[in-house]
Amino acid sequence: MDSTEHRQASVADEDTLSAMQAWRRAIHRNPELGFEEHDTAQLVAEQLRLLGYEVTPGIAVTGVVGTLRWGDHAHAPRLGIRADMDALPVDECTGLPWASQRPGRMHACGHDGHTAMLLGAARTIATSVRKGAAGSAGTLHLIFQPAEELGGGGGARRMMSEGLFERFPCDALFALHNYPGMPVGHVYLRQGPFLASSDKVLIRFHGKGGHSAMPHLANDPSLPAAATVLALQSIVARNIDPVSDMAVITVGRLQAGRFYNVIAETAELELSVRSLSPPVRDTVHERIAAIAQGQASAFGLRVEIEAERGYPVLVNSAAEAALAARVASALLGADHVHADAAPVPGSEDFAFMLQQVPGCYLMIGNGDNGHANGVPAGPCNVHNPHFDFNDACLPIGASLWVRLVETFFAERHKTVSGTDW
């Protein structure tokens, strides 16, 4: 699909297209880290107000919700769409005219584009609603989230802990991310687990330090640590279904002692653990604990285990995944929609939101980044200092949101016509 065809698939007018590009580049020039997105949040809030949305700023510090209600909305369906706003602590190397003006800060994950696309959609949706294209009644919440990149739950969890879905109830929820390396105009999603969980586990063996020449007077914790490193790999090899499941256990840090003739007092392992299903995630954690405790008891010392569960598996619900696939196919052509795409081993804090509200996360091709808006930057992935969000995606993402809103409310209205929703 070339850019002319993208334009044909777009439901955004020329003014909205140029506004999205201007917002995207303004946000890119001024990248802000998680919970510091003050300027970005202000830009978002101002535009939403101009479009007639009710604006609630300051949720999870910098989060903004824009709400549009129409018709007899008290009994009408409620839809949420989320975009992330934060940048990364990266020094930008693109040399583009809209490159970051803040050293050590960069929109290297394309959240500048996600925010601009949802703002562009907000504009077209306001018109759709006025024309009656989005059913006779409804409530739409556009959720602009801070701090997706921060570990420990990120901005999604914090917005939820500040009552996001109690204050702005949603019957269904959607979000998207750009997908580098995949062609522009293509959409990727799947029902069920789509993105991995991401956890950290610390294992600390407490032995008894001593002289290297008198090991019988000490209890060397490096032995159970070494045995544990090897035994941990048996979990993926022996406890996980080799055909239908996956898990990753990486010992990223292994530490014991500081000097060659000293037996250490403690030995530590720090693990990164990933999985694509909640039961597999539980199995992996149970087996890690059992192996570490077994090794500690075999060597006669004490072990401490701290499992820190990070982002959960992101699970798309069936009805919402089907709706997203239908909307994308109608807009871009069925051959451009990969509704049974392979799961992605990355993680997303939108997974927390999907534990509370049914919904779908989808990915849209960002091209090979060789285009880089006319500047040859070479192919690269997100979080790379040469990455740039592809502006050719702006009309695609915005149009997907507009059509999704129209279809969601029109279909729900048909299903429930004459009844209390």
Q: In the bound complex, what is the minimum distance in angstroms from residue 110's beta carbon to Zn ion?
A: 6
- Select the residue whose beta carbon is closest to Zn ion and give its number: 109
Instruction: For Zn ion, give the closer residue by CB, 109 or 134.
Output: 109
Q: In the bound complex, what is the minimum distance in angstroms from residue 192's beta carbon to Zn ion?
A: 21
Q: Is 109 in the site for Zn ion (CB under 5 A)?
A: yes
Residue range at the interface with Zn ion (CB under 5 A); choices 15-23, 103-111, 267-275, 349-357:
103-111
Instruction: For Zn ion, give the closer residue by CB, 142 or 236.
Output: 142
Residue range at the interface with Zn ion (CB under 5 A); choices 104-112, 259-267, 317-325, 358-366:
104-112
Classify residue 278 as exposed, middle or buried by CB count within 10 Å of its CB (0-12, 13-18, 19+): middle
Q: In the bound complex, what is the minimum distance in angstroms from residue 261's beta carbon to Zn ion?
A: 45
State the number of binding residues for Zn ion (CB under 5 A).
1
Residue range at the interface with Zn ion (CB under 5 A); choices 108-116, 186-194, 322-330, 354-362:
108-116
* The pair of three-digit structure tokens given for residue 82, joined into one six-digit string: 């989320």
Q: In the bound complex, what is the minimum distance in angstroms from residue 400's beta carbon to Zn ion?
A: 17
Q: In the bound complex, what is the minimum distance in angstroms from residue 155's beta carbon to Zn ion?
A: 12
Residue range at the interface with Zn ion (CB under 5 A); choices 53-61, 101-109, 183-191, 306-314:
101-109
Residue range at the interface with Zn ion (CB under 5 A); choices 105-113, 351-359, 365-373, 386-394:
105-113
Q: In the bound complex, what is the minimum distance in angstroms from residue 383's beta carbon to Zn ion?
A: 6
Residue with structure tokens 């199995």? 283
Residue with structure tokens 């991310």? 177
Instruction: For Zn ion, give the closer residue by CB, 113 or 207.
Output: 113
Instruction: For Zn ion, give the closer residue by CB, 109 or 170.
Output: 109
Instruction: For Zn ion, give the closer residue by CB, 19 or 109.
Output: 109
Residue with structure tokens 């990915």? 363
* Residue ranges in 261-300 that form contacts with Zn ion under rule CB under 5 A: none
Instruction: For Zn ion, give the closer residue by CB, 109 or 126.
Output: 109
Q: In the bound complex, what is the minimum distance in angstroms from residue 382's beta carbon to Zn ion?
A: 5
Q: In the bound complex, what is the minimum distance in angstroms from residue 112's beta carbon to Zn ion?
A: 10
Instruction: For Zn ion, give the closer residue by CB, 53 or 361.
Output: 361
* The pair of three-digit structure tokens given for residue 319, joined into one six-digit string: 């009805």
Q: In the bound complex, what is the minimum distance in angstroms from residue 323's beta carbon to Zn ion?
A: 23
Instruction: For Zn ion, give the closer residue by CB, 109 or 236.
Output: 109
What is the Cα gyration radius of the chain?
24
Instruction: For Zn ion, give the closer residue by CB, 109 or 357.
Output: 109
Instruction: For Zn ion, give the closer residue by CB, 88 or 301.
Output: 88
Q: In the bound complex, what is the minimum distance in angstroms from residue 108's beta carbon to Zn ion?
A: 7
SS (H, E, C) the chain: CCHHHHHHHCCCCHHHHHHHHHHHHHHHHCCCCCCCCHHHHHHHHHHHHHCCCEEEEEECCCEEEEEEEECCHHHCCEEEEEEECCCECCCCCCCCCCCCCCCCCECCCCHHHHHHHHHHHHHHHHHHHHCCCCCCCEEEEEEEECCCCCCCCHHHHHHHHCCHHHHCCCCEEEEEEEECCCCCCCEECCCEEEECEEEEEEEEEECECEECCCHHHCECCHHHHHHHHHHHHHHHHHHCCCCCCCEEEEEEEEEECCCCCEECCEEEEEEEEEECCHHHHHHHHHHHHHHHHHHHHHHCCEEEEEEEECCCCEEECHHHHHHHHHHHHHHHCHHHEECCCCCECCCCCHHHHHHHCCEEEEEEECCCCCCHHHCCCCCCCCCCCCCCCCHHHHHHHHHHHHHHHHHHHHHHHHHHCCCCC
Residue range at the interface with Zn ion (CB under 5 A); choices 107-115, 127-135, 152-160, 281-289:
107-115
Residue range at the interface with Zn ion (CB under 5 A); choices 36-44, 58-66, 106-114, 243-251:
106-114
Binding region for Zn ion (CB under 5 A)? 109
